A = this chain, B = another copy of it.
Amino acid sequence: MTTTANLKDVAKIAGVSVSTVSRALNGKSCVNEETKKRIMDAVEQTNYRPNIISKSLKMGKSNTICLLVSTIQNPIFAEITQGVEDTARKSGYIVVLCNTDEDEAIEREYIENMKTRWVDGFIICSAVNSSQYIKRLRGEGFPVVMVNRFDKEDEKNVDTVGVDNYQAAYDATRYLIQTGHRRIALGCGSEELYLYRERYRGYREALEDAGISYDDGLVMRETYSQECFYQLTKKLMSAGDPPDAIFALSDPIAFRIMHALHDMNLNIPNDIAVIGFDNVELSSMVEPPLTTVSQPLYDLGCAAAKSLIRQIQHKDRCGELPTPVNSVLGTSLILRRSTR
C-alpha cells in the first residue's frame, strides 16, 4: 500500500508546523493567506487525506451512527434505512448496518461491539424485549432513537419516531365496515411488539364502536415465520362462515394472504377484500393493487436520523443529552383495487 501522507509530511513540505497545517485545514482559527496557499499546494502535492481514525480518537467522536434492524430484507426496514442513510450522509455521518435477525443475543453483541467503536449514537428498529437494556444505553450517555418498534414506556426514556398505529388501524377497519363488510379477519403480527398490539386494539375498538362482536376465530396469528399465514388463510377460508374481508397488519403479511387467496381461486375484492399496512413500494404493483395504510417509511428514517443528530449536537455542546422527544408522523389510507 502506497503509504498515505500525514500532517507531518505536509508540514515539512510547506515548511510550517503540523498545528498550522491542522488549523489551515480545519479553518477554525486564522492562518495567513500566504502560508495557507503553500499548505494547500503541499496537500495537493502529497495527495493528503486526513486520517479520521486518529481524529476520532482525539475528539472522542467518530461521526458514525449505528442502525439496528431485524433484517434489511424486509422492505419496511429497507425504506427506513434509505431515509436514515440519506440524512446521515448529508450531515457527514456514515451508518453501520446491523441485522439482528430478531435475535436478542445478536442485538446485544452488536451494541456492545459498537460501543467500543465509539459510535456517536444508535438508531434502533429491531428491539423486541429490550426496553431496560436500551434505557441503560442512554443512561451511559449514548444518544438513542427508536423507530417504529418501541414500547409505550420507551417514550419516556428515549427519542422515538413512529405513527399512531391505533388510530391508523381503527380507520382502516372502519373503512371496511363502512363499505359493507361485517366478518373482518385479522392477519396479526407478533403481539410481542407494541405496534402490533396497538393496531390490534384499533381493529377491536372499531369493531366494537360499530356494534360488531369480536370473534377470536377470525384472528390469524403467526406462530413461527410469516410463511404460515399462507396456511392460516387457507384454513380460515375453508372453515364454515369465512370472513368477507381481511385486514393484514403489514404488507408482507398481506402478500402472503393474497397468495393463498389466489391459490384458492378466490377473487379479490369480490369474494373477499384485503387491506394492508405500510404501503411498501410493491403494494401498488401486485394484483390486484393493495389498499393499504400508508406509513411514511422513508420520512420516518429521515426523522430518526435528524432526531439522533440533534441529540449528538446537543451533547457536544452541553455535555449531556436533551430530554427525549417523541415524534408521530401521519398516515393515510391508500385506496386501490383490493377493496371495493
**Cross-chain contact A285 with B255 (CB below 8 angstroms):** yes
Indicate whether A322 reaches chain B with its CB closer than 8 angstroms: no
Q: Which residues of B sit under 8 angstroms from A79, Cβ to Cβ?
A: 73
Indicate whether A307 reaches chain B with its CB closer than 8 angstroms: no
**Cross-chain contact A52 with B282 (CB below 8 angstroms):** no
Indicate whether A12 reaches chain B with its CB closer than 8 angstroms: no
**Candidates B71, B82, B262, B284; contact of A73 at CB < 8 Å:** B82
Q: Shortest 5 CB-CB distances between A and B: which pairs?
A: A1-B141, A97-B97, A262-B287, A259-B285, A52-B117
* Contact size range, A: 35 or more
Within 8 A of B (CB), among A275-329: 281-282, 284-289, 315
**Chain copies in the assembled complex:** 2
**Cross-chain contact A115 with B72 (CB below 8 angstroms):** no
**Considering only CB atoms, which chain B residue lies closest to A62 in the complex?**
B53
**Cross-chain contact B78 with A141 (CB below 8 angstroms):** no
Q: How far is the CB of A170 from chain B (nearest CB, A)?
A: 28
**Candidates B2, B50, B117, B259; contact of A140 at CB < 8 Å:** B2
Q: Which residues of B sit under 8 angstroms from A98, Cβ to Cβ?
A: 85, 94
Given A54-B57, A95-B96: A78 touches B82 (CB 8 Å cut-off): no
Within 8 A of B (CB), among A70-85: 71-73, 75, 78-79, 81-82, 85
Indicate whether A232 reaches chain B with its CB closer than 8 angstroms: no
**Cross-chain contact B56 with A53 (CB below 8 angstroms):** yes
**Cross-chain contact A49 with B116 (CB below 8 angstroms):** yes
Q: Which residues of B sit under 8 angstroms from A255, Cβ to Cβ?
A: 282, 285-286
Q: How far is the CA of A112 from the CA of B288 in the complex (A)?
A: 45
Which A residues lie at the B interface, using CB under 8 A? 1-2, 49-54, 56-57, 62, 64, 67, 71-73, 75, 78-79, 81-82, 85-86, 89, 94-99, 106, 110, 112-118, 139-142, 255-256, 258-259, 262, 281-282, 284-289, 315
Q: Which residues of B sit under 8 angstroms from A82, Cβ to Cβ?
A: 71-73, 99
Q: How far is the CA of A51 from the CA of B284 in the complex (A)?
A: 47
**Cross-chain contact A49 with B115 (CB below 8 angstroms):** yes
Q: How far is the CA of A248 from the CA of B152 in the complex (A)?
A: 46
Q: Which residues of B sit under 8 angstroms from A287, Cβ to Cβ?
A: 258-259, 262, 286-287
